Chains A and B, each alone.
Chain A
């Protein structure tokens, strides 16, 4: 794989933009849907997984590592989606006595997140 300076710049810039977009969506979800459940993290992970499924087909992941593929897949969508907040928020729900909500968050994230990646992948023509 060809790794050069442009590659690293693309990842850092993409990751920064993805992270700020994640913050924006989280704040928006908290405003619209409330703060009792981590809707924002669920929404970014579903949206990001769907987008990455599509881009993986279009940009021939994992065979190609063009600067565009690295910018969008590793950078922007890698930074947009998150596991750390999911883990923290799931534990926090349980610690606050909402074990059922914690379990629901886990199930929704895994099922909808993976399904979204699959839907994006199929919509872009993956598996054909």
Chain B
């Protein structure tokens, strides 16, 4: 069971994660004219990569920085940075505007990229010399 310190770490991390996600959204608006889909895909792929790096490092060094700050960085920041609800909403929006093919492509490419990013993160979080 996680105590109040864990909740505090997760709360602060998640707040910073949400703020960073909004910054990515603003950057996408500046660069592409809209935050739709690309910003969500970017945060979800980056967040999946980062959580796997931190989890992998924490697993190899149970008393290292990654392990101690796991609630802040992984559960908090990565959790707040990524968003499933916006992904779901975007899929519904595409379906409701009869862009069914885009919706299907978005769903399948998203899940493949999320998992590929996490897999790469797992690899890069491993120590290079055993």
Contact = CB atoms under 8 A, between A and B. Distances in A.
B124 interface: no
Contact of A85 (B15, B51, B92, B95): B51
A117 B89 contact: yes
B115 interface: yes
Nearest to B18: A15
A106 B70 CA distance: 24
Given A88-B52, A91-B115, A110-B111, A15 B122 contact: no
Contacts of B102: none
Interface size, A (range)? 35 or more
Contacts of A24: 7
A62 interface: yes
B79 A19 contact: yes
B109 interface: no
Interface in B1-54: 1-2, 6-7, 10-19, 21-22, 25-26, 29, 36, 44, 47-48, 50-52
A113 B88 contact: yes
The dominant DSSP class at the B interface is helix
Given A79-B80, A81-B84, A83-B48, A15 B2 contact: no
Nearest to A45: B84
Nearest to A118: B92
A84 B82 contact: yes
A38 interface: no
B14 A18 contact: yes
Interface size, B (range)? 35 or more
Interface string A77-92: 1111111111110110
Contact of B118 (A19, A51, A87): A87
Give the interface centre of B18, B51, B93, B117 by most chain A CB atoms within 10 Å.
B18
Given A18-B14, A83-B44, A51 B111 contact: no
Interface in B85-116: 85-89, 91-93, 95-96, 107, 111, 114-115
13 contacts: A12-B19, A15-B14, A15-B19, A22-B14, A23-B6, A45-B84, A78-B18, A83-B87, A84-B47, A84-B78, A87-B114, A88-B74, A117-B89
6 closest A-B pairs by beta carbon, nearest first, are A19-B14, A15-B18, A16-B15, A117-B88, A87-B48, A87-B118
